[in-house]
A and B are shown apart, each in its own frame.
Chain A
Amino acid sequence: MAAWLAGSRWGAAPAAARRDLLVSCRRWAGTSADTVYDVVVSGGGLVGAAMACALGYDTHFCDKKVLLLEAGPKKVLGKLPETYSNRVSSISPGSATLLSSFGAWDHICNMRYRAFRRMQVWDGCSEALIMFDKDNLDDMGYVVENDVVLHALTRQLEAVSDRVTVLYRSKAVGYTWPYPFSMADSSPWVHITLGDGSTLQTKLLIGADGHNSGVRQAAGIQNVSWNYDQSAVVATLHLSEATENNVAWQRFLPSGPIALLPLSDTLSSLVWSTSHEHAAELVSMDEEKFVDAINSAFVITYEISLCFVADATQWSDANHTDFIDSAGSMLQYAVAFLKPTKASARQLPPSVARVDAKSRVLFPLGLGHAVEYVRPRLALIGDAAHRVHPLAGQGVNMGFGDISSLVHHLSTAAFNGRDLGSMSHLTSYETDRQRHNTALLAATDLLKRLYSTRATPLVLLRTWGLQATNAVSPLKVRDCSQLSKSLAH
């Protein structure tokens, strides 16, 4: 704690602040240097904006002042562009419920989104397949462009601007943390120094500034992280022919999973996690080769079973071992004998005709988890707290889960008249979410490692595991409901 205090404590610049106050007053439109905000959310991305929105629409926060700090400029979306953005997220039904609780989901529905009802996940080295299929025709998830979500959130924030102030082009450069309990004349609030020299005071600072969180670093919270030896390539693809396109596809190749998310009847979004070299190659190769690569990756049939070697520069004709073949088939017969279920016939994803120009982008992947989510007067949400591989589509949904939990705790605290920065409810939030997130992060990491290998025992293990899960309905349903996402990126 001493290190925490010593390392990150520096005073605000009062003289400069006074001078700049006039400048910033114009922007602040009514707020003064004496305002103590109840909550400041640092970071106006999907999770930060949604947090500010959720607080702004909460009944027990009617009397409170919330501020959202966003380093970028305000994005004005007049008319929806024809071309789809290449950054999309898979929104789970739970996240959709959160978004609809403050009215953002209606805006999204009025713009564009795609619901998917089935998800097929299969192994590239064996025929193991798992099909997630909600019998009751509920949507498993929604594929929405990130820009669309952000636009909906911005509109909702504007509607509640008397309670939530949004400062664009404001980056926090320094934080001053309070002492544990008020002694002497030290201010008990968190002081935030902005780029223009002005300072803000707040009772609770929520860090939603992404996986390189400045808030987390300033607080000295340890972050367990490592980089994967993979990058993800995203692109917007045009399908060869219009289809119903309400299925999400994911195939685990040894180099990494490749996934296709439906965007419309003729468009799908690609997320291909593969090695850095291969990813760089994919992004730079010409369109036709790229499209071929995608189609092959999905379409290689079991019989000839090309398992890509680790660097994937050569297409090897190596068959996967007969041992795995027979082992897999044996399990299938056994399962069919013991428990006849409807056969999950493996289907093929739609073939791709072309790719949108300039929509091919790559970004590196890694895992990260903050050891503490909360400190006195500080809470971390979203990627600032946890960063995950996109293979299970958890990223933004975990962030929305954090929001649900934190808003619930803060709302109850506000209704009980509690100091919002008090550790008692912040610790409850942390316990809630760490339990959930740690399990999910561990599972995702395990899956990633399990499916990155071609070693026979592990391939066998995962083959059997996948087939067993597919056969045992309750397990599948549970997985379905908890992890019914495909990819989010």
Chain B
Amino acid sequence: MWGGHKMGSSGSRFLGGLRSGFRGAQACCPRLTTSQAVYSKNQLSWTLRIKPRVFGEYRIMWFKSRSMTFAYLSKMKSYRLPWTRLYCTSQTTVDSSEVKTFLALAHRWWDEEGVYAPLHSMNDLRVPFIRDNLLKTIVNHQPGKPLSGMKILDVGCGGGLLTEPLGRLGASVTGIDPVDENIKTAQHHKSFDPVLDKRIEYRACSLEEIVEETAETFDAVIASEVVEHVIDLETFIQCCCQVLKPGGSLFITTINKTQLSYALGIVFAEQIAGIVPKGTHTWEKFVSPEKLESILESNGLSVLTVAGMVYNPFSGYWHWSENTSLNYAAHAVKSSVQEHVVPAEFALKGETEELRAEASHNSGVREELKR
């Protein structure tokens, strides 16, 4: 069932996310907003029905835990006020079934020809992507350690596959993952290299748990192969934004939600060829670039790049592509000034595509950004 060949349509990178526990319901209830309808004309038509279920989802979350209530209410009132900090909830960010999936394979991370081979091979694309975009912001970089001086957070680092290359490039990297075993594997692996040992720090926690203590400390946050496992993407992105310094970069790689990704990513990869372990991905959780862009923009992150990635299972290599219908990578930058305020209603209704990082200083909820 675990396959273990080199073939794979996309990495099975794990990241904790919000989970309502109603997976079945979620299956037909994408968290789309009406803005989604505008952008994704070529998505499946059934994605257009949403509003009641969206509320339903929030209701479900509300029943789950008290801290969630807080989050929900804050959303209703003020999307983001400059002086208030939206605390991401921490209790239910980890999906226990996802944890089980990755627990079984925790020791296999570093086998370059094993289950995680596609992820190893994806480094050939994502490391240069991150490195080159970060180098644009560095004035005089040292040859040999181009990213030295940068503080990077790798959310959902797994066994440290992406963390270590960034450490080798000179950055100080913090890798977090909710699965303890993953962190143990990662710690063990880096312990042999004295240089990496100093530059990388691992913690077994979720993003929400460290938001408070690490607010605005990172030059870059990387969530690679993570957002397709997250339930509340909105909150996740908010947390990412909070830990970023103004002007910092957010890098996301994930899987698009299209018919093609269902056919190749779920049906072929998981069920037919067994390239990706069954149950790793849920098609409903896939995020389209348009939706991701809208969420990013609504949180004050301006999207600079979206690029498609394609995996060739025969050669085992990834390639950049114009086509984003399978995998894609996105780079967004947090605005330098905290100028954006989006009313909560818009977040719910999904007016997010109208939002840009415009000035709305120190005022409460403003409803100017109407559709």
A positions within 8 Å CB-CB of B: 34-36, 59-64, 180-183, 187-189, 203, 414-419, 422-424
Contacts and interface: CB of A to CB of B under 8 A. Distances in A.
Contact of B144 (A62, A181, A419, A424): A62
A188 B192 CA distance: 7
B165 interface: yes
Interface stretch (B18-26, B104-112, B363-371): B104-112
Given A34-B194, A417-B166, A419-B168, 18 more contacts: A35-B194, A59-B143, A62-B142, A62-B144, A62-B145, A180-B111, A181-B114, A188-B189, A415-B169, A416-B128, A416-B131, A417-B131, A417-B164, A417-B168, A417-B169, A418-B123, A419-B164, A422-B112
B170 interface: yes
A181 B111 contact: yes
Nearest to B110: A181
Contacts of B111: 180-181
Contacts of B131: 415-417
A64 B123 contact: no
| Size range of the chain B interface in the assembly | 20 to 34
A36 B143 contact: no
Contact of A63 (B123, B170, B189): B170
B358 interface: no
A418 B110 contact: no
| Interface of B: prevailing SS | helix
Contacts of B107: 183
B193 interface: yes
Contacts of A63: 142, 144-145, 170
Interface in B166-217: 166-170, 188-189, 192-195
Interface string B109-135: 011101000001101100110010000
A203 B193 CA distance: 9
B141 to A, nearest CB: 11
A416 B124 contact: yes
Given A36-B194, A416-B123, A417-B166, A182 B110 contact: yes
Nearest to B114: A181
Given A187-B192, A188-B192, A417 B165 contact: yes
Nearest to A32: B194
Contacts of A60: 143-144
Contacts of B127: 416-418
A424 to B, nearest CB: 7
B111 to A, nearest CB: 4
B164 A36 contact: no
12 contacts: A36-B192, A36-B193, A59-B144, A60-B144, A62-B142, A180-B111, A181-B114, A188-B192, A414-B168, A416-B123, A417-B131, A417-B165
Contacts of A183: 107
Contacts of A422: 112
Interface of B: 107, 110-112, 114, 120-121, 123-124, 127-128, 131, 142-146, 164-170, 188-189, 192-195
A182 B112 contact: no
Contacts of B166: 417
Nearest to A178: B192
Contacts of A417: 123, 127, 131, 164-169
B192 A189 contact: yes
Contacts of A416: 123-124, 127-128, 131, 165
Query: Could you say which of A417, A418, A419 has the most chain B C-beta atoms within 10 Å of its C-beta?
Result: A417
Contacts of B195: 36
A422 to B, nearest CB: 7
Query: Could you say which of B170, B192, B193 has the most chain A C-beta atoms within 10 Å of its C-beta?
Result: B192
Contacts of B167: 417
Given A182-B189, A419-B164, A62 B124 contact: no
A35 B168 CA distance: 16
Nearest to A186: B192
Given A417-B165, A417-B168, A64 B110 contact: no
Contacts of B142: 62-63
A419 B145 CA distance: 14
A416 B114 CA distance: 21
B175 to A, nearest CB: 14
A98 to B, nearest CB: 20
Query: Could you say which of A59, A64, A181, A188 has the most chain B C-beta atoms within 10 Å of its C-beta?
Result: A181
Contacts of A181: 110-112, 114
Contacts of B121: 424
B251 to A, nearest CB: 14
Nearest to A64: B144
A416 B167 CA distance: 11
Contacts of B168: 414, 417-419
B2 to A, nearest CB: 16
A462 B164 CA distance: 57
Nearest to A62: B144
Given A63-B170, A416-B128, A417-B168, A182 B192 contact: yes
Nearest to A34: B194
Contacts of B188: 182
A321 to B, nearest CB: 55
